[in-house]
Amino acid sequence: MKVEDFHYELPERSIAQSAVEPRHDSRLLDTRDLSDHRFLDLADLLGPGDLIVVNSTKVRAARLVGSRVDTGGRVELLLLDRDQGGSWKALARPARRLRPGVVVDCDGIEVTVLTDPADGVVGVSLDAEDDESVIERIGSVPLPPYFSGSLDSSSRYQTVYADKPGSAAAPTAGLHFTSEVFDRLRQRGIDTATVDLHVSLDTFRPMAVESIEDHVMHSEWCSISEEAAEAINGARRIVAIGTTVVRTLESMATGQGSVRAGSHHTDLFITPGFEIRVVDLLITNFHMPSSTLLVLLAGFMGESWRSAYDTAIERSYRFLSFGDAMLAERKRP
């Protein structure tokens, strides 16, 4: 299939440039019948025995800005993932002239380039005993490049259940949840389980190929606990909150409706024709045209994504990270 098969016209006015308060006042399109709802009313669209599965990752303050020690040139680094040796992969701007040995001063912390750039990504190391505490001090939470608005606090780009830092971007489908939403879900007999996927490069990297079969996903670390696996394997229906949860569950599927506990790096790319084995319902935001996230959605719900998106644009739904949400059902064979 061609990347252009997943294109649609996204009006600039449809891109959300502010965050709705309270969070649960965002809109929710039920694509099963194209009905309009508030996110606060999510429990009314589900049933007892359903299981909500969320990604509990927290966005780290991964955006570092500094200057080259040798030339004084400005460099921006977005830390993506840390390997077992302690070095980081970082999306660099500008990356073209960065070479191994170049040192970037970021607020007094030296960041050394370890590898030549590849697709704008370099390996780096931080001159610090505790990387995470230093990153929290000198870095900032990276907001999406298409968001030109402002937030009262960087915490608005975190889910209310975010736990340990690990991601370069938020699992945005979860931004709509509040304690009131969870209270209503519990009252209706709907439990919640948490998994973890560290959102990385492919969330904001466009597909620079003509055919989706030629696109290579970067791997992202994900984990499912024993407790979560038990809950998932015993649930009536699985409701994934966001594409990251779908990728986590489907990459660790052991059969129809079941997963294994554990952790690994996944490079799973869900496309039309992929057999979804675990997730029954998906709640997700409205995604960028021709993106891997939209391809996943098409693989999950089929061609009906087009009518859902046409409806959302016509009814003035808000798109992308701080926009509204939709509820989709898995396409059956």
Asked if omega into 48 is within 30° of 0 (cis), the reply is no
Domain count, the chain: 2
Instruction: Point out the domain boundary residue: 117, 138, 159.
Output: 138
| 241, HSE (Cβ side, Cα atoms, 13 Å) | 28
Same domain, 181 and 311: yes
pLDDT band at 217 (very low <50, low <70, confident <90, very high): confident
pLDDT score for 67: 97
Residue 323 is assigned to a structural domain of this protein? yes
Q: Could you tell me if residue 9 is inside a domain?
A: yes
- On whether residue 132 sits in a domain, the answer given is yes
Q: Is the pLDDT of residue 179 over 70?
A: yes
CATH of residue 164 = 3.40.1780.10
Predicted pLDDT at 206: 79
Q: How confident is the model at residue 203 (pLDDT cuts 50, 70, 90)?
A: low
Q: How far apart are CA 303 and CA 245, in angstroms?
A: 21
Q: What pLDDT, on a 0 to 100 scale, did the predictor assign at position 245? A: 98
- Please tell me whether residues 107 and 186 are part of one structural domain: no
Average pLDDT over every residue of 63-92: 93
Output the domain CATH number for residue 126. Answer: 2.40.10.240
Whether pLDDT at 76 is above 70: yes
Q: Tell which of 111, 138, 165 closes a domain.
A: 138
The answer to whether position 103 is within a domain reads: yes
Residues 169 and 279 grouped into a single domain: yes
Split at pLDDT 50, 70, 90, the class of 331 is: very high
pLDDT above 90 covers a percentage of the chain that reads 89
pLDDT for 261 equals 98
pLDDT above 70 covers a percentage of the chain that reads 99
User: Cis peptide before 145, with omega less than 30 degrees from 0?
Assistant: no
Res 216: pLDDT? 87
Residues 175 and 257 in one domain: yes
- CB proximity list for 269: less than 8 A, separation 6 or greater: 212, 215, 217, 292, 295, 296
The three-class DSSP label of residue 173 is helix
244-285 pLDDT, tens digit per residue, is: 999 999 999 998 999 999 999 999 999 999 999 999 999 999
* Domain ranges, residue 115: 63-138
Question: Is 112:99 a contact under the CB 8 Å cutoff?
Answer: no
pLDDT in tens, 279-328: 999 999 999 999 999 999 999 999 999 999 999 999 999 999 999 999 99
pTM of the model: 0.94
Could you tell me which of 54, 60, 20 has the C-alpha nearest to residue 40?
20
- Do 230 and 113 lie in a common domain? no
CB 206 within 8 A of CB 290: yes
Reported as a single tens digit per residue, the pLDDT across 98-154 is 999 999 999 999 999 999 999 899 999 999 888 889 999 999 999 998 999 989 898
